């Protein structure tokens, strides 16, 4: 009776078919949101040096990209804009003819089925690179809110299906919710960057979006990576204020936070697989040090296992191809 002294876990791992029967987590293209950088100008397709395979695209290139993404089975994109001109108050963010607004209108016209999520922030549009209004080298909360709300309304007017505020000002969800409702956009959901850490993993994004702060850092508005309870407070207030989705960002080093948010709140949770996480995999893969496909699939599976309902990732197109 020797065999009864221990459990035979390997029984459930004997074949592909057996393993797929007992697989607890599934990753599909429905889980993916692809981020796209649109840049003002013409005939621009700049590969971001620290993000191989990711481009800044002018509007004349965007439609082909969105069609490709849609044909791969990805149903949602997140848009970031890079304007030609920046100023102290980030005017380009809430200009009805701004780069993101024009991109939204064009995509809605050419690929109407694609769900468009507008990242709502000021840092790509301000000359100082901060996510709000700066006075005496400080980012001021309440006056920044007004501009953020203006940005959200302008994006919704252009046709954005969802607003994703990311500047981490207090009260941004309720301010945007009220502003949207006031002009008849009560059906446009808010996907809040509720739990956004002041992370070194955003480095490559700031090259892509040209949004590195010219002085200081974002530690007075983004969260300290050491904190977990604070994440719960942030998530809680955003829910109270009317958030429909909660983003946790970055993803990989914060899977404990994804799980905690998922277990505590009853809204869909999104993990943002950020630029630095992308760059690290690409760099190692280009050196032949890791198997890119296997590593990416393992990472995204881990995000889902941690509780993410959706994943924003620069790997979305690759993953959709691998899943085919
Ligand atoms: C805008 C914003 C940032 C990212 C998403 N929205 C940059 C930042 O906070 O500095 C980072 C995304 C990434 O690293 O992939 N505030």
Q: Kindly report, residue by residue over 278-320, the tens digit of the pLDDT.
A: 999 999 999 999 999 999 999 999 999 999 999 999 999 999 9
Q: Calculate mean pLDDT across residues 68-94.
A: 97
Supply the angle between the helices 59-71 and 316-323 in degrees, to the nearest 10.
30
Contact residues of ligand 1, CB 6 A cut-off: 119, 121, 123, 131, 166-167, 202, 205-206, 211, 274-275
Q: Band the pLDDT of 50: cuts 50, 70, 90.
A: very high
Q: In the annotation, is 249 catalytic?
A: yes
Residue 112 lies in a domain: yes
Beta bridge partners of 79: 36, 118
Residue 14 lies in a domain: no
* Interatomic CA distance for residues 1 and 5, integer angstroms: 7
Of 78, 121, 314, the one to substitute when testing ligand 1's pocket (max ligand atoms within 8 A of C-beta) is 121
Structure tokens at 80: 């970031």
Residue whose CA is closest, atom 8 of ligand 1?
202
Of 191, 209, 210, the one to substitute when testing ligand 1's pocket (max ligand atoms within 8 A of C-beta) is 209
Residue 208 lies in a domain: yes
3-state secondary structure of 319: helix
Q: Band the pLDDT of 210: cuts 50, 70, 90.
A: confident
Q: How many domains does the chain have?
A: 1
Residue 131 lies in a domain: yes
Of 33, 205, 316, the one to substitute when testing ligand 1's pocket (max ligand atoms within 8 A of C-beta) is 205
What does the pLDDT read at residue 67?
98
Q: Is residue 105 within 8 Å of residue 159, measured between CB atoms? A: yes
Q: Which ipTM value was assigned to this complex?
A: 0.96
In the predicted model, is pLDDT for residue 3 greater than 90? Answer: no
Question: How many CB atoms are closer than 10 A to CB 235?
Answer: 24
Residue 2 lies in a domain: no
CA of 28 to the centre of ligand 1 (A): 25
Buried b (16+ CB within 10 A) or exposed e, 25-62: eebeeebbbbbbbbbbeeebeeebebbeebbbbbbebb
Residue 18 lies in a domain: no
Round to the nearest angstrom and report the end-to-end CA distance of the chain.
46
Show the domain range for 212. 27-323
What does the pLDDT read at residue 5?
86
What does the pLDDT read at residue 43?
97
Q: Is residue 125 within 8 Å of residue 118, measured between CB atoms? A: no
Residue 30 contacts by C-beta under 8 Å, 6 or more apart in sequence?
A: 75
Residue 15 lies in a domain: no
Residue whose CA is closest, atom 11 of ligand 1?
202
DSSP string computed for 245-297: EEEEES-GGGHHHHHHHHHH-SS-EEEEE-HHHHHHHHHHHHTTSS-HHHHHH
Helix spans in 5-81 (H): 16-21, 59-71
Q: pLDDT, tens digit, for every residue of 217-272?
A: 999 999 999 999 999 999 999 999 999 999 999 999 999 999 999 999 999 999 99
Structure tokens at 51: 């993000």
pTM given for the model = 0.97
* Interatomic CA distance for residues 145 and 100, integer angstroms: 19
Selecting among 249, 262, 299, 317, the annotated active-site residue is 249
Looking up tokens 């050196």 gives 287
* Interatomic CA distance for residues 289 and 165, integer angstroms: 37
Looking up tokens 């848009």 gives 79
Structure tokens at 48: 């971001």
Residue 264 lies in a domain: yes
> What radius of gyration, in Å, describes the C-alpha atoms of the chain?
20
Q: Is residue 316 within 8 Å of residue 69, measured between CB atoms? A: yes
* Interatomic CA distance for residues 196 and 223, integer angstroms: 6
Q: Is residue 132 within 8 Å of residue 144, measured between CB atoms? A: yes
Looking up tokens 């621009």 gives 44
Nearest to 35 by CA among 285, 213, 277, 198: 277
Q: Band the pLDDT of 2: cuts 50, 70, 90.
A: low
Q: Calculate mean pLDDT across residues 14-20.
A: 97
Q: What's the CATH code of the domain at 165? A: 3.20.20.70
Question: How many CB atoms are closer than 10 A to CB 297?
Answer: 17
């Amino acid at each position: 009776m020797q065999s009864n002294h221990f459990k035979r876990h390997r029984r459930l791992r004997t074949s592909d078919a057996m393993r797929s029967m007992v697989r607890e987590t599934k990753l599909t293209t429905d889980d993916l949101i692809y981020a796209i950088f649109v840049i003002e100008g013409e005939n621009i397709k700049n590969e971001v040096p620290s993000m191989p395979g990711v481009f800044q695209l002018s509007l004349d290139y965007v439609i082909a990209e969105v069609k490709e993404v849609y044909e791969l089975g990805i149903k949602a994109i997140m848009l970031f804009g890079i304007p030609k001109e920046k100023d102290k108050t980030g005017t380009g963010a809430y200009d009805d003819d701004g780069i993101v607004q024009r991109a939204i209108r064009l995509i809605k016209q050419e690929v109407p089925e694609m769900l468009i999520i507008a990242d709502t922030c000021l840092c790509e549009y301000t000359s100082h690179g901060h996510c709000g209004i700066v006075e005496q080298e400080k980012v001021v909360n309440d006056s920044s809110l007004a501009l953020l709300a203006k940005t959200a309304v302008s994006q919704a007017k252009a046709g954005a299906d969802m607003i994703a505020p990311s500047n981490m000002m207090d009260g941004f969800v309720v301010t945007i919710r009220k502003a949207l409702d006031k002009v008849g956009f009560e059906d446009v959901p808010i996907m809040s960057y509720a739990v956004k850490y002041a992370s070194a993993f955003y480095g490559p994004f700031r090259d892509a979006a040209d949004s590195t702060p010219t002085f200081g850092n974002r530690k007075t508005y983004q969260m300290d990576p050491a904190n977990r309870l604070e994440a719960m407070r942030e998530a809680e207030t955003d829910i109270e204020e009317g958030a429909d989705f909660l983003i946790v960002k970055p993803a990989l080093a914060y899977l404990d936070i994804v799980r905690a948010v998922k277990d505590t709140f009853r809204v869909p949770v999104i993990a943002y697989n950020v630029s630095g996480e992308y760059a690290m995999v690409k760099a190692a893969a280009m050196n032949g040090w890791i198997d890119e496909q296997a590593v990416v699939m393992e990472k995204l599976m881990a995000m889902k296992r941690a509780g993410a309902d959706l994943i924003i990732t620069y790997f979305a197109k690759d993953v959709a191809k691998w899943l085919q």
